[in-house]
Amino acid sequence: MKKRTALISVYHKEGITEFAQRLSALGFEILASGGTAKHLIAAGVQVKDVASLVGGGAILGHRVVTISREVHAGLLATRTDADIQEMEQLGLPFIDLVCVDLYPLQAEIAKTGSTPESVINLTDIGGPTMLRSGAKGRRIVVCDPIDRQPVIDWLENACPDEGIFIDALAAKAEFVVANYCLLSAAYHGQGKYAGFMGEKVLACAYGENKYQSPAGLYKSVGVDDPLGLDKFKVVGGESPSYNNLCDLDRLLQTMTHASASFSANFSGEHPFDTKLPPYLAFAVKHGNACGAGVDYIRRESALIRMLTGDPIALFGGLIMVNFPITNELAEIILHSGTSTRRILDGIIAPAFSSEAIETLARKKGKCRLLVNPDLNVGINLDTTPLFRHVRGGFLMQPNYSFVLDLESPEVKKYGPPLSSGKKIDILLSKSICDTSNSNTITTVKDGELIGNGVGQQSRVRAGKFSVEIAREYGHNTEGATSASDSFFPFVDGPEVLHKAGVTTIVTTSGSIRDKDVIEYCELNNISLIMFPDAIGRGFYNH
């Protein structure tokens, strides 16, 4: 059998000895760069230092070794007679496999106290160059430790579907290098350059509409978010659709904002003297909350409040809760408040009992059940930048991360003092309002969303819409709380809410008529919570 050669040069040494030993057992001759060579030799692997291959040896303190014509000739030479003859004359081996991981550039950039000098020092040049040469030369390119075992299995299995396998490895190597270069450009460009790269982890049947195909979910490179959409596992029903994934993402925005708000304002405690977090339940339709419930004692209460908010909009919607779903809770979801089985597109929870999965199943798998255990622990806000496609490019901005702290000196309170129950309604309404399409006014009462007036062109119309939704489904708005995602430009908005019986209003300041709004609320015995528009405006998906 023809002698094959593998070149190994890795920064992280975990598992590399075993990989090299398996390659040796398969008949590979091992070349390795300085640190990797020492590591493998110490482990008893027969290795040739790649510096011995390079004309003149390593230079500049061993920083320039693999950037040499000898190494890249071994990776780029073809099996044509001319190339074979020339390689033999030069005494150079064909390199059949290259295993490289790169200096941890992203970790250095993210490190507190990193400097341009430290980032440059951990910017790999030889690694990306070898990966690209190996990819172009259609060698076996291993750029990720997770691929080492599949490569060994493939080699031991006589290399089936060789072209497809090699192409997949080459594409991944190019992808890894491209992302690496993008990180460097973004860092050194100081905001001039930006981009994002992802790996497809889920194919959707189509996008928002059937004629928008292909479509799928891509996981961002270098992001290991426990609440990333790729971390949600389907345990019942079919794979989520594109629209399901959009709604799942919005549910996460609302859930995390509510969780952060309760945590910030009750410091892990609440009026009932338990340090447990509240039970939260949210429903969304077309990207906006149509149901929400919070309860510190009973999961059932949170669920029922969510289900009765806007029951018509909930039809075919998605539900997310931060507690496991038992069969008893599944029955509540399907039958509470309705004479027929409630139709839902999906339910997301930390866990489902096996009985609940059977109970919630719809024909043809139309009710998707997704689990993520991290939904029932402390939920953190997403702080990664937001990108939005526009014609000819994209917009980028920081994520929305404002959390209302009622004790902040920037928060002004007017009118009657707030009870603990009112504080809960304030935080719930603000969390929903700020993660709904602007303009929005959100009305909540007794821990339940009763009217979400979203996406209106005028603020007063958003207020009217919120009240109309609440009344349409029999909710009593007397004593309710309403949140606005920005300031009231006129008194007409608070007036609409006051006439409906709303007694607490949450809004920002920044209007030339703020004084009129304050006076109106004080005159009508309305509790007014106000903070600067510059820090707390909640425009979302504008």
Q: What is the CATH number of the domain that holds 25?
A: 3.40.50.1380
Q: For residue 176, is it within any domain?
A: yes
In angstroms, the CA 294 to CA 448 distance is 7
pLDDT at 532: 97
Task: Please tell me the least confidently modeled range out of 93-97, 144-148, 378-382, 517-521.
Answer: 378-382
Same-domain pairing of 167 and 286: no
Same-domain pairing of 326 and 282: yes
In angstroms, the CA 444 to CA 497 distance is 12
Q: For residue 70, is it within any domain?
A: yes
Cis peptide before 277 (omega within 30 of 0): no
Mean pLDDT of 37-49: 94
With beta carbons less than 8 A apart as the criterion, state whether 317 and 341 touch: no
Mean pLDDT of 513-524: 97
Confidence label for 270 from pLDDT (cuts 50, 70 and 90) = low
Q: For residue 286, is it within any domain?
A: yes
Same-domain pairing of 414 and 360: no
In angstroms, the CA 481 to CA 381 distance is 24
The whole-chain average pLDDT of the chain stands at 93
Strand pairing class (412-414; 386-390): unpaired
In angstroms, the CA 201 to CA 485 distance is 35
Q: Where are the alpha helices (DSSP H) in 26-161?
A: 34-42, 69-76, 81-90, 105-110, 116-121, 126-136, 148-156
In angstroms, the CA 542 to CA 539 distance is 6
* Residue showing tokens 């994520």: 399
pLDDT at 79 over 60: yes
Same-domain pairing of 339 and 432: no
Same-domain pairing of 444 and 528: yes
In angstroms, the CA 530 to CA 428 distance is 16
CATH assignment of the domain containing 281:
3.40.140.20
Q: Domain limits at 155?
A: 4-189
Confidence label for 56 from pLDDT (cuts 50, 70 and 90) = low
Percent of the chain with pLDDT over 90: 87
In angstroms, the CA 307 to CA 424 distance is 19
pLDDT at 446 over 60: yes
pLDDT at 276: 65
Same-domain pairing of 282 and 341: yes
Same-domain pairing of 173 and 264: no
Q: For residue 477, is it within any domain?
A: yes
> Would you say how long the chain is, in residues?
542
Which amino acid is residue 365, in one-letter code?
G
Percent of the chain with pLDDT over 70: 95
Nearest alpha carbon to residue 283 among 300, 296, 302, 297: 302
pLDDT at 7 over 70: yes
In angstroms, the CA 252 to CA 318 distance is 12
In the structure encoding, which two tokens stand for residue 204, read together?
């959707």
Task: State how many domains the chain has.
Answer: 3
In angstroms, the CA 365 to CA 346 distance is 10
Task: Please tell me the least confidently modeled range out of 19-23, 220-224, 236-240, 513-517.
Answer: 220-224
pLDDT at 377 over 80: no
pLDDT at 275: 57
In the structure encoding, which two tokens stand for residue 198, read together?
């992802």
CA distance readout (Å), 333 to 246, 320, 351: 22, 11, 15
With beta carbons less than 8 A apart as the criterion, state whether 21 and 149 touch: no
Which amino acid is residue 132, in one-letter code?
R
Same-domain pairing of 176 and 249: no
HSE at residue 88, side-chain half, CA atoms within 13 A, is 7
Confidence label for 53 from pLDDT (cuts 50, 70 and 90) = confident
Same-domain pairing of 239 and 178: no
Same-domain pairing of 163 and 244: no
In angstroms, the CA 165 to CA 151 distance is 9
Q: What contacts 82, CB < 8 A, 6 or more positions away? A: none
Q: For residue 541, is it within any domain?
A: no
pLDDT at 537 over 50: yes
In angstroms, the CA 118 to CA 47 distance is 31
Mean pLDDT of 29-43: 93
Of 376, 396, 417, the last residue of a domain is: 376
Same-domain pairing of 241 and 102: no
Q: For residue 159, is it within any domain?
A: yes
Q: For residue 211, is it within any domain?
A: no
Q: What contacts 73, CB < 8 A, 6 or more positions away? A: 87, 90, 92
pLDDT at 1 over 50: no
Q: What contacts 524, CB < 8 A, 6 or more positions away? A: 498
pTM for the full model?
Answer: 0.89
Q: For residue 204, is it within any domain?
A: no
In angstroms, the CA 237 to CA 215 distance is 19
Nearest alpha carbon to residue 402 among 262, 505, 537: 537
pLDDT at 199 over 80: yes
In the structure encoding, which two tokens stand for residue 263, read together?
């945590």
Same-domain pairing of 29 and 174: yes
Helix or strand (DSSP H, E) at 20: helix 16-25
Of 157, 189, 221, the last residue of a domain is: 189
